[in-house]
Structure formats: C-alpha cells, structure tokens
Amino acid sequence: MVGFELLYQSVGPQLRSRNDLLVACLHFQLIQKDYRFLGTGEQFTETDDTNGSELLSDGWNQSQDTYVLRYVSQKKSSPKQKLLVKCVVASDMLIISALIVSADDKSSSHTFRTNDFITADFKTFNKAFTSGNANNLLDTINRDIVDKLSATTTTTRESGTSSLRVDRQRQQQQEPDPLLADPPPPYGIPNYGGLGYDGIYGQAGQWPPPIGGADLDPFGRGQGGMIMDPRAFPNPLGGRLRNPAPGLPPGAVPPGARFDPFGPGIGPRPNRNPRQMGPDPDHMPPPGYDDMFM
C-alpha cells in the first residue's frame, strides 16, 4: 500500500506490541479516508484543532489494554464529522469499535485475532505481517470498519425506501381498486343462452333480470331500459322468448326494444288465465296524476 511504509517508520520506535501495530494500521486507513487525528480520550473539546493531524501524538499507546482515539473528517460538511475509535484488548484479540458522533450515530465494529495478521517480529517492517505485507490486514480494516461508516446512511435510506415500496405494493394487493374489479357474474338460474344474451348485462338465463342495464351501458346493450315490463321477462327454461306485446303481431316489437305496454284491451298478461280480463293494477292512474305540480 502506497504510503504505508512511511507511517510505519514514523510509529516504529513507539511500537510496544502487536496490538500497537494493528491500531497504527487502522489509523493509516482512516487517514486515507480524509480523517485527521485529534488526540486521545473520549471527550471532544472546543480546543480540539479542527484541522487535525496525519500523525499520532505522543502517548497514543500508553495504555496497552484500551486505545481511545478521536478523529475529525476533512470532507465538506457542517458541522464537521467527528469520529471516536475505541480498541479493547481481550486475550489475543483486539475489539475495534468506531462511532461517528452525530445525530445519526453511525457505527461499525470488528474483532481481530492479532496473531492472524501480525508476527512476533512486529518491529521489522518486512517481517511484521504474516502474509508478507500489510495489504491483507489493511483490506480487512477497510472493508469491516472504515467502509461501513460511510455506507450506513446510504444503506439505511435505501432499505427504508425499499421497505416503504414493498409495504405500498402489499397494501395495493390486499386492497384491490374497485374501479379495476371485474363485475360480479350473473347468479341464480344458469345461462340458457338465447337471442341477445350478454354475459355481463344479461338476457335469457339471468335472474333477476337486469332491469335498467341498458341505461347504464353507453352502447345500448342489455335488457330493456328503465321500464320494467314483466311480460318481457326471459323464459328461464329456455326456448323462444315470449312476445313482449300480446295483441300485436310477432316481430312488431324488436327484441330488447323499450316498449311501454299500453291498454286496456291489449290482451292478457303472460301466465294469466286468458278468461280473466279484469282490470289490471298497472292501468290504474298513479297517485297525484292530475296534480300539475307533481
């Protein structure tokens, strides 16, 4: 890694353990990501140099059990991002936690087994790393610590947007649009077919008959209009439709035509004894027929 040897030479005289070198490698990767070192300790103060430094200060590894380092980002932001890094030694492992001190509190952490990356001869640059160079360790630090700090906000925003999109799709599936729903099929007596039958607006075979269906259909399909004439009901048992106008020759009223029965004297109603020609309730004047204000 370009520039790493210069860092190693600057901290070499201060190295006291393998953990010191691992923390130095973390420091190097943070510098590559435009962070600058402010000092040790957990508390950020107003006296901290907002520009920071690329070098570790004296005493950064004074405690061999816990390392606490403060950084500030040099990227353009208001206010500047502050980063707190804490490394805790546990047996032959080093637990590293990094926290961006802001409203988002973005963080990342990883546990390193120090002996897997650094040899006992950690004070010799060419022999300090188990793989022969620091690239493997630097890549691991970058992937598991540094990159996660910058990816947290983007990932959270994208996952939140994705979850919202999935919730909306699920809600749309659970609550179908009534404007897109198929009309209910005819029910009751099965379809026996017949002249002018329509699967939606119906003719023969649909019960009850869809009176007024033609008024709702811009193409004029369907059975009749708003006038409900029982004599024009289809024959549910199939066969030829009854003559909608008894007393008139067959074909005088085309199938499906809006025919207002007139009478009396036009003939008996269907399914009625022809001898019973008495007054038809339909022939009685409606209430208020002579009221000009009705």
User: In this structure, are strands 66-73 and 35-40 parallel, antiparallel, or unpaired?
Assistant: antiparallel
Question: Residue 147 falls within a domain, yes or no?
Answer: yes
Question: Residue 99 falls within a domain, yes or no?
Answer: yes
Query: Domains in the chain: how many in total?
Result: 2
* Of 249 and 87, the one with more pLDDT: 87
Question: Residue 79 falls within a domain, yes or no?
Answer: yes
Least confident interval from 92-96, 105-109, 121-125, 183-187: 183-187
My answer on whether 129 and 35 are in the same domain is yes
My answer on whether 53 and 122 are in the same domain is yes
| Nearest Cα residue to 72 out of 101, 95, 110, 47 | 101
The CATH number of the domain holding residue 123 is 3.40.1000.30
- Residue 24: CB atoms within 10 A of its CB come to 22
Question: In this structure, are residues 234 and 241 in contact, taking their beta carbons and an 8 Å threshold?
Answer: yes
Least confident interval from 43-52, 55-64, 125-134, 270-279: 270-279
Question: In this structure, are residues 100 and 107 in contact, taking their beta carbons and an 8 Å threshold?
Answer: yes
Question: Residue 176 falls within a domain, yes or no?
Answer: no
Starting from the edge strand earliest in sequence, which strands make up the sheet with 107-113, in order? 35-40, 66-73, 82-90, 93-101, 107-113
Q: Calculate ∠ Cα 182-187-192, nearest 5°.
A: 110
Question: Residue 253 falls within a domain, yes or no?
Answer: no
pTM for the model: 0.52
Phi and psi at residue 90, to the nearest 5°: -135, 100
Domain that includes residue 135, residue range: 4-152
C-alpha torsion 197→200→201→207, nearest 10: 80
Structure tokens at 49: 């140099």
> pLDDT per residue over 77-94, tens digit each?
767 888 999 999 998 999
| Nearest Cα residue to 70 out of 47, 104, 93 | 47
Question: Residue 294 falls within a domain, yes or no?
Answer: no
My answer on whether 28 and 148 are in the same domain is yes
Question: Residue 146 falls within a domain, yes or no?
Answer: yes
Mean pLDDT for the stretch of residues 159-173: 66
Q: Where does a domain end: 111, 130, 152?
A: 152
Output the CA–CA distances (angstroms, integers) from residue 95 to 18, 40, 113, 161, 170, in the order listed. 13, 17, 9, 33, 42
My answer on whether 127 and 210 are in the same domain is no
Question: In this structure, are residues 38 and 72 in contact, taking their beta carbons and an 8 Å threshold?
Answer: yes
Mean pLDDT for the stretch of residues 68-80: 84
> pLDDT per residue over 9-51, tens digit each?
999 999 999 999 999 999 999 999 999 999 999 888 887 777 8
